[in-house]
Structure 1
Amino acid sequence: MKKISVLMLMMGSSLIFGQKVSDYKYVLIPEKFETFKSNSYGLEAHLTNALKAKNYVVLPSGIDQWPSEARDNSCNIVNAEVLNDKSLFTNKVILQFKDCHKKVILESKGRSDIKDFEEGLGNALKQALLKVAPSNPVNILPASTTTTTAPTTAPTTAATNTAQSTHSAVSTATPVSTSANYSDGKTDLQKIQIDSNQFILAKSGSSVPFAIFKSTSKKEVFLVKLADGNTTIGYYENGNIVIDRPQADGRYTKEVFNGK
């Protein structure tokens, strides 16, 4: 009973205080900050070095190079972004950190009166980083996969019947390919399961997903967000992954990625 009370207290504290950037170990920084149209003046490198100095692990651009803790559960990663907030005579930036649900968990502003863009923006970012505490991860989440643990005691009759029903349902379900690698003959992709309702296809060496798949109400049919911003549908067919890719004339072409 005491253990349950302690657990409930911990859960309540988490809800009250929320998550902090320092709770994370892994940080993902984009290759280029989007709001700096032509030149980001090395801010990506500035931020990378500053966060490493605060004991964060900055992830490389290629997903296949990520540690398993980050690759297997995107909620172990905090996403960093620097926004250009400059005015006519002042270099200003906004430093944001977002969780895996794209919720901003920290926003910090920095400014500098130094007129030189590279030096001034770097100085503004340095000020914004003052609010970022050193990494002190409290909990690394497990891989987003469902596992079944054998019971330590004999199951009840009801539990046995439920297990038998579940086993029958699984036996009659359409098999889904468990291959982690797919290809259409031109592009090689890796399937990364985010959770039971979501997975991504990613090119080797790229941090940008080729496509993000989310479950729909229909079995083995997915809502797909493509890298170009378009949304379409995808589905399993004979163990392969199929994407209906929209074309400029309003038609759709069928892209088939075979399991390797």
Structure 2
Amino acid sequence: MKKLLVAFFLHSVSFSFAQQVSDYKYVIVPNTFVDFAKEDYQLNTYLKTLLRKKKYEIIVEGSKDIPSDLKQNLCLASKADIQNIKSSFQNKLKVVFKDCNDTILSEYEGVSKIKDFEKGYQEALNLAIVKLPLQNAKEIKKPTITKKSVETKTYIVIGEENGEIKIPIDSSKIKNNDILFESKGVTYRLIELAKDKAQLINVQNQKPILNIYPSSKEKVVHVEVFSEKGNYNTLGYVEDQNLIIEFKEGNETWTKTEFEQIKKP
């Protein structure tokens, strides 16, 4: 994460985290595939079966019955599509997986010499999904955040299943490793909590306001905002070494807030 932060905020270079399909617990499957809209050849049903065998949890596109963690963050799911590849004397297709930003994660091709369309396309689909790795998503637990003081040092205590992790945020200890921002007259500190997680903290009251996670899209990050009305997920952007976050103002109202990086002397 330190390299990520340096790349983002100190040098403004582009980046992308190479996430794999296997990093996603859920796969969204559409009701119909554009290339097979006229004749499905039971590919939709067969794809769901094959994905379940690979330990993925299937979400039907448009369904209202989805897990609570996915409701809060649709980026926990990848999206699957089956595309027809024209080929003489063969049934050939491609299964494409994308993330929530429509960035392609992986593509798998399958080819069958069976002349019958239904059996041929199904065999091609099976040969494509064979290449797909087993689902290996790491469960993301929402942190329970409290604060306490120990010998004048402030700690953020993150609740975990097997205990707690104390993250010191004593400015005298980390001032050379963190990044400072200013927004609306308030100073914030960005610190690393893990290699793929950072937190923005109000310097004055030492209160964390949001968590930042990498995305697969260039100069875009996923953000979890801490709110008295309930935490929610949004997106952040990097522009000219500054951080821009979209905050929720109402049910359908969002406001962009810029956090300007403070240059160290």
* TM superposition score normalised by structure 1: 0.53
Q: Separation in 1 of the partners of 2:140 and 2:84?
A: 33
| Contact preservation (8 Å) 2:24, 2:136 | yes
1:101 alignment partner in structure 2 = 101
Q: Would you say 1:116 and 2:116 are equivalent positions?
A: yes
| Contact preservation (8 Å) 1:92, 1:111 | yes
| Contact preservation (8 Å) 2:51, 2:58 | yes
Give the AA of the match of 2:50: A
| Contact preservation (8 Å) 2:26, 2:56 | yes
Count of residue correspondences: 175
| Contact preservation (8 Å) 2:235, 2:246 | no
Change (3 A) 1:41 1:218: closer
2:234 alignment partner in structure 1 = 195
Change (3 A) 1:161 1:65: closer
Q: Separation in 2 of the partners of 1:160 and 1:113?
A: 62
Q: Which has the higher strand share?
A: 2
1:23 alignment partner in structure 2 = 23
Give the AA of the match of 2:56: Y
Q: Separation in 2 of the partners of 1:134 and 1:240?
A: 38
RMSD: 4.4
Q: Separation in 1 of the partners of 2:45 and 2:89?
A: 24
2:75 alignment partner in structure 1 = 75
1:227 alignment partner in structure 2 = none
- Taking every aligned residue pair, what percent have the same amino acid on both sides? 32
| Contact preservation (8 Å) 2:112, 2:120 | yes
Give the AA of the match of 1:94: K
After superposition, residues 138-177 of structure 1 pair within 5 angstroms as 139-141=138-140, 149-152=146-149, 162-163=204-205
1:8-46 deviation line (CA, Å, top 9, x unaligned): 69x9xxx89822222221111111111223112111111
Q: Separation in 1 of the partners of 2:75 and 2:202?
A: 35
| Contact preservation (8 Å) 2:30, 2:60 | no
Change (3 A) 1:88 1:193: farther
After superposition, residues 38-77 of structure 1 pair within 5 angstroms as 38-77=38-77
| Contact preservation (8 Å) 1:90, 1:115 | yes
| Contact preservation (8 Å) 1:73, 1:142 | no
Q: Which has the higher helix share?
A: 1
Structure 2 residue matching 1:35: 3-state secondary structure: helix
1:86 alignment partner in structure 2 = 86
Task: Tell me the CA shift for residue 64 of structure 1.
Answer: 3.3
Q: Would you say 1:125 and 2:164 are equivalent positions?
A: no
Give the AA of the match of 1:150: K
Give the AA of the match of 1:140: E
- Superposed structure 1 runs of 4+ greater than 6 Å apart: 158-161, 216-220
* TM superposition score normalised by structure 2: 0.52
Structure 2 residue matching 1:59: 3-state secondary structure: strand
